[in-house]
Amino acid sequence: DNLHLSRPTMVEERTLSAACAINFTSPVPSTVADYIRESLAENTRVAYLNDLAHFESWGGQIPASPETIAEYLVAHADVLSVATLNRRLAALSKVHRSRGCGNPTSVEVVKATLRGLKRIKGTAQRQATPLIKEDLFVVLEAMGQRLKDVRDRALLLIGFAGGFRRSELIGLNCNDVILVRQGLEVTLRRSKTDQNGAGRKIGIPHGRGRWCPVAALEQWQAASGISEGAIFRPVDRHDRVGPKRLSAEGVCLVVRERVQAAGIDPGNYSGHSLRAGLATSAAQAGVSSWKIRQQTGHASDAMLVRYIRDGELFIDNAAGALL
């Protein structure tokens, strides 16, 4: 969710499409390439293209030797995180296998180099700061009544209540949301863990207090006049609503700007802070992990463990029972 990557051109897209056809060593027809391109999520395609471009700008070539890739890792050990280096290896592995070459990333010299980097640098990843319920309410209190405020209020509340990823939040269309007696029934057509579009439904209930996600969304749609297509769209300084969908980066900017305006250090807040905030706040409230997963769509408790662990730091705390 925190990548800031340049979008590929159509020529680059077709190049990667052909490259990602397993066992294809010659160009494939454009019609075939279109389907191959769709075998990868858009963000994955963009990430792979940027990773390969970075490797080649450093001086690497495909096919590459294991020693060259090990040198590449070492050359960037001080400027790239272990997580980023892992993704670079995944991209290099993919393109080598696609072209029918041996996979140099699986050779011991590369694996040993990466293990050494992990021991030296550690593997802890920078995590988005959760926007927990209490801080979310502080942020909402600091907002005004202009059209952008109305949109941002709906964006924050829906993003938090649904535990949505940025891509899921900005991907919502008007016909994906149905008002029912209990609140909103939201259909996610596609998500990071559902690339084949099986879809899943999420319930967003009416709020019990002042900040109701259902009411906030209704206010935004009424004020903006949006009745079809993308729900969340850009709003300029003249309160004009744009025709296109809000970008993932736009969600990140909204979160950071609104947190800062409320007097909270924006620090590591990002678009992922809404999703992390729901999971952490729910854990603090004693909600079971499987019910949290039902809302967020996490594949397993293992993916939720850091939120639950952070949310329960002070629940039945051993030191609290003594001091």
Residues tagged active-site: 165, 192, 272, 275, 298, 307
Per residue in 295-312, is it b (16+ CB within 10 Å) or e — as a string?
Answer: bbbbeeeeebeebbebbe
Q: Which residues contact 147 (CB under 8 A, 6 or more apart)?
A: 223, 224, 235, 239, 241
Residues in the chain: 323
Q: Which residues contact 115 (CB under 8 A, 6 or more apart)?
A: none
Q: Where are the alpha helices (DSSP H) in the chain?
A: 10-19, 30-37, 42-58, 66-75, 82-98, 108-121, 133-141, 147-162, 166-170, 213-224, 248-261, 273-284, 289-296, 301-311
Q: Which residues contact 80 (CB under 8 A, 6 or more apart)?
A: 88
Q: Is 220 exposed, middle or buried (0-12, 13-18, 19+ CB in 10 A)?
A: buried
